[in-house]
Chains A and B, each alone.
Chain A
């Protein structure tokens, strides 16, 4: 079991109270790795302290055709 799969096993058993076999944990670790990596990189390139998730709805209103 590699480090990321061990981490997934720890989250499943220790934090979420969920049971998965080792094979499924490896699949989930790989899937989450890709997603986390993409979001982490996009966030590092774009986000600032003041970015508020709720601002999205306001932006839609503001960007409508005048």
Chain B
């Protein structure tokens, strides 16, 4: 197999090929490194590439395998992660200028789990400054660019994660999601992204955007790959008091159940604040039809009015971000991009009672969602981004500003942020391409801790579609 062919193989398949010793981790790592060399000038997905360290890791893992030791289901598989997962003693910028030279004092729990599973760490990936921004712009480290069209945004804040998985330079990547930051780049770049239930994956050792709404999760090329990766990183963690003690299912084993008999609610919300583009709506409708042909019962779903929920989420994010950033905001406000700083400042003016009420409302909002949109159905299907992927220039708030630009950027999260407030799982799966040749993504949203069911639906869908097989050239 040629180097480039190796890089195009899915995560699960390459992991099995390494385990069977049909290919070595060193060969696979070299294939990724060669492809990164080609793609990095086009996407700017990597902030740091640890070439020598990765090759040394791969060599060690090959030696272990030759001696009969397989660490876990990701043994020898190269990955890279959003630059906000701490590794003790190593740089971790959070996409910022402020932490450009900062070294982490601990290793994130999720990185420890990936180490134990045998992952090769190629480096760390571009992201929005302090995970604040839905487009992939970054004034400090350079904007991340969509591999399908380098003039267009990747979605954010896990911009490098989406771009690098789509460009097939890594087999999978960690992102994080406070208002859509896994699902937006997954949708915009044509890959799979899972924001699991709040508490399903430990946040310990991950840079926070908002403690109450942050979710750690994987971006991959296929649903199967995503299931494998979530199975590795999910689970209880004594270092994160919000991590659930619920056992982690074998997501990969549960993939094959099909959708026959499942009830799906289709939501194509099209209101004044976030109008739904006809092309995007059509792609999601077609996906629903495909699931219907597979035996799912698809009915229209009505989402509750998310206006108050959306505002409550803004209150929570702004207050938590203002509190954690206050020392830097006081000492070096100009070290932030304007749009990042200004999005936090309102947090200093919101009364504590409003912040507490926003938190207290979450349970009510969750009950309302479960008894409306999810009443009588197993999952809800809806778009991830309600419009075709725009250019970097037309969404450049820092350079252009103005109400039209701000409005478009704000609408990015219209259909994703609600599920962070609700804490329920949401899976983004590619379901088409727009007239510009950019991917379209759909979300599958389920009950708390129903990740296995969402994967089952997504896997059935990928079994009869080819959108996830297309590779940018």
B447 contact set on A, CB distance < 8 A: 63-65
Per the 8 Å Cβ criterion, residues 232-257 of B in contact with A are 242, 244, 246
A55 contact set on B, CB distance < 8 A: 363
Scoring A12, A41, A46, A52 by chain B CB atoms within 10 A of each residue's CB, the highest score goes to A46
Q: Is the CB of A39 within 8 A of B354?
A: yes
Determine the interface band of chain B, counting residues with CB < 8 A from chain A: 35 or more
Q: Mark A22-42, 1 if CB is under 8 A from B, else 0.
A: 001000110110111011111
Q: Is the CB of B423 within 8 A of A60?
A: yes
Please count the residue pairs between chain A and chain B whose beta carbons lie under 8 angstroms apart in the complex.
108
Q: Is the CB of B199 within 8 A of A63?
A: no
Q: Is the CB of A39 within 8 A of B308?
A: yes
Q: Does A51 contact B (CB under 8 A)?
A: yes
Q: Does A43 contact B (CB under 8 A)?
A: yes
Scoring A34, A39, A53 by chain B CB atoms within 10 A of each residue's CB, the highest score goes to A39
Q: Is the CB of A34 within 8 A of B366?
A: no
Q: Mark B301-335, 1 if CB is under 8 A from A, else 0.
A: 00000011101101100100000000000100000
Give the docked Cα–Cα distance between A56 and B311 (Å). 18
Which among B168-176, B180-188, B217-225, B341-349 touches the partner chain? B341-349
Contacts A41-B308, A59-B363 hold; do A64 and B448 have CB atoms under 8 A apart? yes
Give the docked Cα–Cα distance between A42 and B306 (Å). 11
* Secondary structure type dominating chain B contacts: helix
Residue among A11, A17, A24, A47 making CB contact with B360, cutoff 8 Å = A47
Give the docked Cα–Cα distance between A11 and B447 (Å). 41
Q: Is the CB of A35 within 8 A of B348?
A: no
Q: Is the CB of B311 within 8 A of A35?
A: yes
Closest to B423 in A: A60
Minimum CB–CB distance for A1 against chain B, Å = 15
Give the docked Cα–Cα distance between A55 and B351 (Å). 22
Residue among B199, B312, B318, B367 making CB contact with A42, cutoff 8 Å = B312
Q: Is the CB of B366 within 8 A of A35?
A: no
B360 contact set on A, CB distance < 8 A: 43, 47, 51-53
Residue among B318, B350, B364 making CB contact with A46, cutoff 8 Å = B364
B362 contact set on A, CB distance < 8 A: 53, 56
Q: What are 19 A-to-B residue pairs whose CB atoms are below 8 Å?
A: A8-B349, A18-B330, A28-B346, A32-B349, A38-B308, A38-B312, A39-B361, A40-B357, A42-B357, A42-B361, A43-B361, A52-B360, A53-B359, A57-B242, A57-B244, A60-B198, A63-B448, A64-B448, A65-B447
Q: Residues of A with Cβ closer than 8 Å to B?
A: 8, 11-12, 16-18, 20, 24, 28-29, 31-32, 34-36, 38-43, 46-47, 51-53, 55-57, 59-61, 63-65
